[in-house]
């Protein structure tokens, strides 16, 4: 997913927080909260620190690789907002097409990554251990031009799905949302295409901003037109009577792009640019509950943590408490908050601000198996929070290029995805794909319950 263009690292609404000096990095957001740990600059960037166990800063995360994952944008024009922190030029990063999404594919013991970019290409990367045994390398194995900007890529079992914008054959001067799915067990076969019908060979009238696939072959797509569409695999339902995905129903109600989808129990949760979160009955397609958006002016003057979001919803995750099996939904928003909702009754049980818009979220685990929440931010930072922690959503660490010299120099961070062996992968408007690994402890005394 992509949520608008990032701005330079200056002051103003959603500006950068301070904190962190010397070798340590990652100060707190502008709302005054501070992370419990500050990351060692040397260890984060190289995996080594001459101070070893005597270092005053944390060795909990390090970067393995950072690569350019998109082509140059020929329409790039330098402007005031493309200037960097303290006036330094960010043209080298900003003249790249934004990378919108990343998906992880584990196959035959190897880790492969798919990325999608607004240059109209998806790319396949091999994340292999470095020859010296320290870190990892990213090698591009393949790229494919689909005809227009790629907004989302997702893996489901052995299928790779790509949502992009292109011109349908029946209307060559118009644009529509497309979804293609490749069976990776038969990679040489042409992709399966999600069509609204034989006379409408596209997946939506707007761009495809989110995808969710269930193990039983059901797929939901969220469009910029505010409509969710449900698809089901049919062995003879595709073009020419071959296997494919047939449209089951339309689920309309959002007043803007549908940026997040998650199947939780018997309901499909969706988050939209209108600030609302909607729960849909997956059998009937009807809306079962709406978490209304908060009015922006009222939320800024008198914030109510239990209220809905006062900005566009940018991400949505399902989370099960390992101690008691209770289910939750986690949402992120450009209103600078992450909120946790009881999946049973829709009650907001936790809310935290970040000092800048939250543009992507993902769940991963620490070395002891405790669940962590990764929050990608508008200006390129990544925050690490607890989940079932005391207090909830406690801020553990902040990864900031400004302090560490590595990571995403420009945001937004459009997508984060967890991988095996405590790794996670991030992409942003700067055109980069970064690979990180959790290597140390965050202070497990904050976690309560089982794992």
Whole-number Å distance between alpha carbons of 202 and 193:
8
Please say if the pLDDT value at position 33 is more than 70: no
Beta strands in 256-355 (DSSP E): 258-264, 267-272, 277-281, 287-291, 313-320, 327-333, 337-342, 348-353
Whole-number Å distance between alpha carbons of 377 and 6:
10
State the pLDDT at residue 3: 42
Could you write out the DSSP letters of every residue in 159-221?
A: EEEEEEEE--TT-TTS-EEEEEEEEGGGTTSPPEE--SBTTB-SSBSS-EEEEEE-TTSEEEE
State the pLDDT at residue 450: 40
**Higher-pLDDT residue of 162, 198:** 162
Using pLDDT thresholds of 50, 70 and 90, give the confidence band for residue 22.
very low
State the pLDDT at residue 92: 45
For the chain, give the mean pLDDT.
85
Kindly state the helix (H) or strand (E) to which residue 103 belongs, with its residue range.
Answer: strand 99-107
Using pLDDT thresholds of 50, 70 and 90, give the confidence band for residue 215.
confident
Burial class (CB in 10 A: 0-12, 13-18, 19+), 116: buried
Please say if the pLDDT value at position 7 is more than 60: no
Strand order across the beta sheet in which 121-129 lies: 99-107, 110-117, 121-129, 136-145
* Nearest CA among 409, 433, 436, 434 for reference residue 421: 436
Taking only Cα atoms into account, the Rg of the chain, rounded to an integer number of angstroms, comes to 21
State the pLDDT at residue 10: 34
Q: Which residues of 394-416 are buried (b: 16+ CB within 10 A; e: fewer)?
A: bbbbbbbbbbbebbbbbbbbbbb
* Nearest CA among 170, 197, 95, 146 for reference residue 432: 95
Tens-digit pLDDT profile for residues 39-98:
999 999 988 999 988 999 999 999 999 999 999 888 776 654 443 444 444 444 468 899
Tens-digit pLDDT profile for residues 370-419:
899 999 999 999 999 999 777 889 999 999 998 888 899 888 999 999 99
Assigned token pair, 28:
């707190």
End-to-end CA distance of the chain: 30
| Residues recorded for the chain | 451
| % of residues, the chain, pLDDT over 70 | 82
Using pLDDT thresholds of 50, 70 and 90, give the confidence band for residue 303.
low
State the pLDDT at residue 93: 45
State the pLDDT at residue 260: 96
State the pLDDT at residue 311: 94
For residue 280, what are the β-bridge partners?
268, 287
State the pLDDT at residue 198: 84
Assigned token pair, 339:
């909120």
Please say if the pLDDT value at position 257 is more than 70: yes
Q: Is 386 strand, coil or helix? A: strand
Question: Following CA atoms 139, 145, 148, 151 in sequence, which dihedral angle do they give, to the nearest 10 degrees?
Answer: -30
Most distant pair of Cα atoms in the chain: their distance: 68
Q: Is 414 strand, coil or helix? A: strand
**Cβ partners under 8 Å of residue 350, min gap 6:** 305, 339, 340, 392, 393
Tens-digit pLDDT profile for residues 118-164:
999 999 999 987 665 566 789 999 999 999 999 999 999 889 999 99
User: Strand pairing of 150-156 and 99-107?
Assistant: unpaired
Kindly state the helix (H) or strand (E) to which residue 401 belongs, with its residue range.
Answer: helix 401-404
Tens-digit pLDDT profile for residues 170-181:
899 999 999 999
Assigned token pair, 386:
């607890």
| Spatial contact of 260 and 331, defined as CB atoms under 8 Å apart | yes
Please say if the pLDDT value at position 323 is more than 60: yes
Assigned token pair, 143:
């790229």
**Higher-pLDDT residue of 342, 297:** 342
Please say if the pLDDT value at position 114 is more than 80: yes
State the pLDDT at residue 24: 53
């Amino acid at each position: 997913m992509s949520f608008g263009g990032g701005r330079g690292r200056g002051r103003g609404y959603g500006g950068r927080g301070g904190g962190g000096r010397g070798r340590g990095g990652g100060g707190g957001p502008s709302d005054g909260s501070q992370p419990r740990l500050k990351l060692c600059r040397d260890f984060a960037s190289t995996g080594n620190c001459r101070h070893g166990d005597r270092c005053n800063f944390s060795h909990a995360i390090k970067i393995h690789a950072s690569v350019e994952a998109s082509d140059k944008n020929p329409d790039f024009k330098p402007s005031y907002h493309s200037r960097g922190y303290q006036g330094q030029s960010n043209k080298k990063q900003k003249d790249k097409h934004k990378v919108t999404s990343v998906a992880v594919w584990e196959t035959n013991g190897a880790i492969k990554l798919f990325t999608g970019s607004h240059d109209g290409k998806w790319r396949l990367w091999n994340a292999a251990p470095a020859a010296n045994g320290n870190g990892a390398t990213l090698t591009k194995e393949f790229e494919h031009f689909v005809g227009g900007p790629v907004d989302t890529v997702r893996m489901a079992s052995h299928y790779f799905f790509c949502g992009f914008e292109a011109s349908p054959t029946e209307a060559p001067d118009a644009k529509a949302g497309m979804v293609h799915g490749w069976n990776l067990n038969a990679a040489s076969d042409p992709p399966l295409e999600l069509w609204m019908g034989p006379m409408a060979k596209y997946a939506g009238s707007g761009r495809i901003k989110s995808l969710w696939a269930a193990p039983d072959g059901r797929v939901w797509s969220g469009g910029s037109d505010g409509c969710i569409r449900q698809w089901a695999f049919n062995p003879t339902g595709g073009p020419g009577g071959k296997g494919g995905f047939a449209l089951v129903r339309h689920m309309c109600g959002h007043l803007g792009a549908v940026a997040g989808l998650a199947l939780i129990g018997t309901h499909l949760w969706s988050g939209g640019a209108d600030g609302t979160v909607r729960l849909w009955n997956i059998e009937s397609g009807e809306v079962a509950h709406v978490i209304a958006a908060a009015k922006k002016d009222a939320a800024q003057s008198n914030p109510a943590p239990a209220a809905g979001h006062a900005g566009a919803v940018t991400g949505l995750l399902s989370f099960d408490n390992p101690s008691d099996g209770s289910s939750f939904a986690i949402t992120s928003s450009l209103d600078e908050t992450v909120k946790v909702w009881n999946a049973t009754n829709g009650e907001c049980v936790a809310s935290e601000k970040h000092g800048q818009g939250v543009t992507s979220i993902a769940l991963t685990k620490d070395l002891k198996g405790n669940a962590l929440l990764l929050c990608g931010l508008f200006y390129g930072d990544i925050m690490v929070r607890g989940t079932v922690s005391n207090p909830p959503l406690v801020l553990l660490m902040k990864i900031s290029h400004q302090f560490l010299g590595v990571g995403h120099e420009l945001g937004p961070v459009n997508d984060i995805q967890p991988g095996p062996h405590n790794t996670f992968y991030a992409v942003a408007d700067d055109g980069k794909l970064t690979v990180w690994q959790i290597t140390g402890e965050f202070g497990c005394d904050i976690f309560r319950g089982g794992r």
